[in-house]
Structure 1
Amino acid sequence: MIKEKKIQTLKNAVLNSYSQIFFSENKIFALLLIIVSFLDFWAGIYGLISVLTANITAYILGYDKTLIKKGAYGFNALLTGLGTGIIFQPSIELTVIVIFGALLTFFVTVALQGILAKYALPYLSIPFLLGIWAIILATKDFTALGLSERNIYTYNELYALGGKTLINIYEKFENINGFESLKIYFLSLGAVFFQNNILAGIIIASGLLYFSRIAFSLSLIGFYAAYLFYGLTGADFSALAYTFIGFNYILTSVAAGAYFVIPSERSYLWTLLLLPVTVIITASLEHVFSVWQISIYSLPFNIAVLLFIYALKLRVRKNSKLTDTFVRQETPEKSLYLFHTASEEFKNKNYFPIGLPVKGDWSISQAHDGKYTHKDKWRHAWDFVITDEKKLQYKNKGDYLEDYYCFDKPVFAPAAGIIAEVADGIPDNNIGDVNVEQNWGNSIVIKHGEYLYSQISHLKEGSIKVRKGDFVKKGDLLANVGNSGYSPYPHLHFQIQATPYIGSETLDYPLHNYIIRKNGKTELVTFGKPEEGETTAPASSEKILENALHLVPGKNLSVNLKSSEKNITEEWKINKDIWNRTFITDKEDSKAWFYENDSGLYFSNFTGNKKSLLFIIFKALYNTNKSFYKGTEITSSIRPDLFFGKLILTLQDFAAPFCIFLKAEFKMTYTEKDDDFIPEFVKTESTISKTIFGKVKEKEHFTVIFHKSGETEIKFDNNILSIKPLKKTILNQTAK
């Protein structure tokens, strides 16, 4: 069993070492690239030797198996082996040089991984450059090596590989008339694997198209943008067909336009702007490196992409139209779809959850950019009051503090933290009076994290229960509402800020898990910013939902599907990967990725068999809050590539950076609870709607019943799928 795992790890490492050159882990694409590498047999052999050397070394030395399987330690060694195998005649001596060259490239890879990781930058193909340059310069003293003559006798090599048939295919592609620029495009693609023929480029282009429509389109855009710039400046672009540098523009375009950023109109625009810069870098470096009589290879690509990525990371204001790929998927398309459908959930996941500082129903008398005091640097704040059915804040005539419904009401910690500052001893004002000098009044500042604080102000004199340095949990009693400071009538001021001082500038930060009551209906908000005039209250969790949605890594789930025709039982595991991301996995190794917090369970991604029972769970419980308010609806978007066929999805892939016309929408409605005080079950209805250009084409319906016993039932299409937690647990599970 252990031996099989080692073999599987090595197999994945070898395949991905080829496809990683194009930022891919697609196995079919990898096989096509292996075929391309063997169009020059000895180059292919030495490339494979280098890949095996680097990956076996990484495994023996105990490096991260996940990175080994991804080909992270092998692709630079592969390029070094291919380049060396192309330049020199095959021999025992060259084999030794290739092995040690692969070791050198591997160690440079590891070193650069550690150095550049501090700046969150990739090492790209810099290890290959250092490795191939070291070998080329060193071999000037290695007289036992001879330069390759194989490109002189190309037909002999092709005949040895595939006989007359391969020669005929080669001639057919080489003798294509017209489209000179397209021929150079194919030659540039082939040059990535040191192949100087059109056939190699066509195979790579076909594999690139199969792997990613976005990457393929960007390869053309990158090439032709550089081609036009060469024409504009009077440079000779045909030279790129035989100098092994034309691919720089293709790789730069794919990396900067789709891999390290989310593909979009803006990323395509910046790719077009970056390519002339890459041309300038290329032209200048050629003159510099001609002194040493060595090729610049992929150096322009590395410089241009690293400069671009680093510049993006140093931005003060992030732009949603040009954003880093925060969760990288198998293809640029999947990264894009995930960004559009889950960006709000992922953005919210990064927020530390800060709730309301009150309990029960409260009205917002002033919200962000309020017309009275929430202005300029202090505009992101809320004022809370309590109103009656007539929207009045007071009883009688409102002449006294005690007439106001919110006066002396308890105030609670909105989240866990440490008391950073306390101000007390400021008298409460009479109605209509204000304290201009001590305008914040009695206040508390709580530290929730680095550069994250909340401030609660206008508290009642002498009511504060905490002192500076105290630790508080969410919901702990802090004080009571008063009328101190610049407050003509009792209310509670609440704001989020980055510094620990009373009166600090405010942050535009959402509040967590609350409800809004309007027109007799209740709206549940996971993260949001209450608006002026809204009636809001903290959302209360339902115990049944808390138990059912509490999925702990190490726990197993028993799953049973019953219908009139079948009865299927499975056991699933809840695991986590090396990045601490949690997922449910079944026997087929399908995975439903999720995260859970105090407010609910949220599925973020699915990989594997879409006909599996696990995919049913993913669809039925995609976004489930732990609170129950009858009639409440939750809506979310889901990645369209999980629901549509390949043909129409291919068209969508090409258009995706500019327009997404395929959509899948999730809606959950909270419909029934058998008892308000001691319920035995909670029922919800889930729907997945598939739309094309805004028109609904298909719907899937699920009825979900959460039982007090911990069992969850999902009813769909005359099937009943039940999920029960098992008592046994398996600790320290990680993704393989």
Structure 2
Amino acid sequence: MLPLLLACSLSLPAGTATLLPDTSGVSVTARPGKVWLEERAGQRLNFDLAVRNRSRDTLRLTSIEVSVYDGSNALVLRKFVDNNGFSPAINALSHHEVLPGGTVLVFNPFHTFADDIEPARLQYVFHFQTPKRAEKEARLDVRPVRYQPQTALTLPLSGRLLVWDGHDENAHHRRLDFLHPVAQQVGIRANFMRYAHDFVVVTDAGELHRGDGKKNTDYPGFDRPVHAPAAGRVVAAYAAQPDNDNGEDHFNPADMVGKDPLLLYGNYVVIDHGHGEYSLLGHLRQNSVAVKVGDAVRADQVVARVGSSGSSYFPHLHYELRTGKEMNVEGLPAYFRNFQLLRGRRQRTVASGAVDSGDFLLQTRKGE
């Protein structure tokens, strides 16, 4: 049986994705709808693929193929992941089965491109099989846009830092399945932390803590000043959540639904920088927030101190650039300025660049 085609290539505005009307009961959409291209160790795409099954059959995903076209619409790259082999690569995807009436989130498996590739348009082809081995096919066109930040950001902590968890393809920030039933239950509808970072102050030897690490005071970063990464106005803040410490966990996900969804971050500050860019600083120490809603803040101003409140296992600073102050907004790529990237005994100054999981950094400020 020949596959049923759902879409063809269309002329689209940059940064968008589209598909033709669903005619076979299965469709694929890009989440978010606007796709950014981030410059980070090459060129990175950070978006998800929502697969919706309107048919009466359970659909098994057998392959995904992407064709990459440049600005002149010339084909420059074609890649695929399928169910061939003793340990098929398709099993590494977040989902490869869609129940009747269900929608699942597939993390984009084609996320990194070399600098000499121009990914102006990407055409995705999804192949499915029914229990009776009938074949179905869905197509999606995506036109990424290279993100141009409007705000000059500085790392919000000083000293020797480790990006404990960033937004690479294995990071928990990246792999947020917002269509999961538990996520839906607590009100999560989008990946607001898509480009987030967990910053940890470390010792000169790169260690996270002294002693056994059970107490917050074992961590050199605990109670360190948290700086505004850029000027702006405070649009949200919370300071009353106790810090998790010495095995005691005060985080209650139910509070997110009934009280404030941003309590995922415990104590937090959200700063509006203008131009649709907001900084969220989370897991702050209880009662350390030194600003209130409506305050204008200057770049590098101390706004709070590092804690371990909310969904936090140890003292660190959660940072994300985002499109708004609410919970279900989208993340944005963050490019920081004038820091040192440490590579063992070597280090270099980065005038402007992205950081990610595992990077050691050095940020200096006068007086710290």
**TM-score normalized by the length of structure 1:** 0.26
Correspondence 1:148-547 to 2 at 5 A: 266-267=71-72, 320=118, 351-369=150-168, 370-376=170-176, 377=191, 378-434=193-249, 435-437=251-253, 438-502=263-327, 504-538=329-363
In structure 1, the partner of 2:125 is none
More strand by share: 2
Indicate the SS of the match to 1:493. strand
> Structure 1, residues 373-415: CA drift from partner, whole Å, max 9, x if none?
5423223110011222443211222221111111101000100
> Structure 1, residues 163-200: CA drift from partner, whole Å, max 9, x if none?
xxxxxxxxxxxxxxxxxxxxxxxxxxxxxxxxxxxxxx
Given that 1:431 and 1:489 are in contact with CA atoms closer than 8 Å, whether structure 2 keeps it comes out as: no
CA displacement at 1:321 relative to structure 2: 5.3
Instruction: Provide the rounded CA distance (Å) in 2 between the counterparts of 1:268 and 1:483.
Output: 49
Correspondence 1:513-662 to 2 at 5 A: 513-538=338-363
Given that 1:362 and 1:386 are in contact with CA atoms closer than 8 Å, whether structure 2 keeps it comes out as: yes
Given that 2:162 and 2:202 are in contact with CA atoms closer than 8 Å, whether structure 1 keeps it comes out as: yes
Q: Alignment identity in percent?
A: 28
Change (3 A) 1:490 1:470: same
CA displacement at 1:322 relative to structure 2: 5.0
CA displacement at 1:372 relative to structure 2: 3.7
> Structure 1, residues 333-378: CA drift from partner, whole Å, max 9, x if none?
xxxxxxxxxxxxxx78753211211112211111114534542322
Indicate the SS of the match to 2:72. helix
Change (3 A) 1:390 1:521: closer
Instruction: Provide the rounded CA distance (Å) in 2 between the counterparts of 1:431 and 1:379.
Output: 30
Indicate the SS of the match to 2:331. coil
Instruction: Provide the rounded CA distance (Å) in 1 between the counterparts of 2:217 and 2:70.
Output: 58
Matched to 1:405, the amino acid is P
Matched to 2:150, the amino acid is Y
Instruction: Provide the rounded CA distance (Å) in 2 between the counterparts of 1:540 and 1:474.
Output: 12
Instruction: Provide the rounded CA distance (Å) in 2 between the counterparts of 1:321 and 1:489.
Output: 39
Change (3 A) 1:458 1:510: same
Instruction: Provide the rounded CA distance (Å) in 1 between the counterparts of 2:210 and 2:340.
Output: 26
Change (3 A) 1:348 1:426: same
CA displacement at 1:537 relative to structure 2: 2.6
In structure 1, the partner of 2:57 is none
Change (3 A) 1:441 1:504: farther
Instruction: Provide the rounded CA distance (Å) in 1 between the counterparts of 2:224 and 2:217.
Output: 11
Indicate the SS of the match to 1:524. strand
CA displacement at 1:502 relative to structure 2: 4.9
Indicate the SS of the match to 1:361. strand
Given that 1:444 and 1:456 are in contact with CA atoms closer than 8 Å, whether structure 2 keeps it comes out as: yes
Instruction: Provide the rounded CA distance (Å) in 2 between the counterparts of 1:412 and 1:398.
Output: 25
Matched to 2:201, the amino acid is I
CA displacement at 1:268 relative to structure 2: 7.0
Given that 2:281 and 2:319 are in contact with CA atoms closer than 8 Å, whether structure 1 keeps it comes out as: yes
Given that 1:421 and 1:502 are in contact with CA atoms closer than 8 Å, whether structure 2 keeps it comes out as: no
Instruction: Provide the rounded CA distance (Å) in 1 between the counterparts of 2:265 and 2:194.
Output: 15
Given that 1:433 and 1:487 are in contact with CA atoms closer than 8 Å, whether structure 2 keeps it comes out as: no
Indicate the SS of the match to 1:402. helix
Matched to 2:233, the amino acid is I
Indicate the SS of the match to 2:273. strand
CA displacement at 1:510 relative to structure 2: 2.1
Instruction: Provide the rounded CA distance (Å) in 1 between the counterparts of 2:166 and 2:314.
Output: 16
Change (3 A) 1:383 1:265: closer
Change (3 A) 1:394 1:266: closer
Instruction: Provide the rounded CA distance (Å) in 1 between the counterparts of 2:212 and 2:149.
Output: 46
Instruction: Provide the rounded CA distance (Å) in 1 between the counterparts of 2:310 and 2:330.
Output: 17
CA displacement at 1:466 relative to structure 2: 0.3
Instruction: Provide the rounded CA distance (Å) in 1 between the counterparts of 2:315 and 2:70.
Output: 50
Unaligned stretches of 5+ in structure 2? Answer: 1-68, 76-116, 122-145, 177-190, 254-262
Matched to 1:412, the amino acid is H
Indicate the SS of the match to 1:526. strand
More helix by share: 1
Indicate the SS of the match to 1:457. strand
- Pick which of 438-447 and 369-378 moved more: 369-378
Indicate the SS of the match to 2:240. coil
> Structure 1, residues 589-629: CA drift from partner, whole Å, max 9, x if none?
xxxxxxxxxxxxxxxxxxxxxxxxxxxxxxxxxxxxxxxxx
Change (3 A) 1:351 1:527: farther
Unaligned stretches of 5+ in structure 1? Answer: 1-263, 271-318, 324-346, 542-736
Matched to 1:442, the amino acid is N
Instruction: Provide the rounded CA distance (Å) in 1 between the counterparts of 2:307 and 2:240.
Output: 12
Matched to 2:303, the amino acid is L
Q: Which has the higher contact order (CA 8 A, sep 6+)?
A: 2
Change (3 A) 1:392 1:449: same
Q: CA RMSD in A?
A: 2.8
Given that 1:446 and 1:455 are in contact with CA atoms closer than 8 Å, whether structure 2 keeps it comes out as: yes
In structure 1, the partner of 2:79 is none
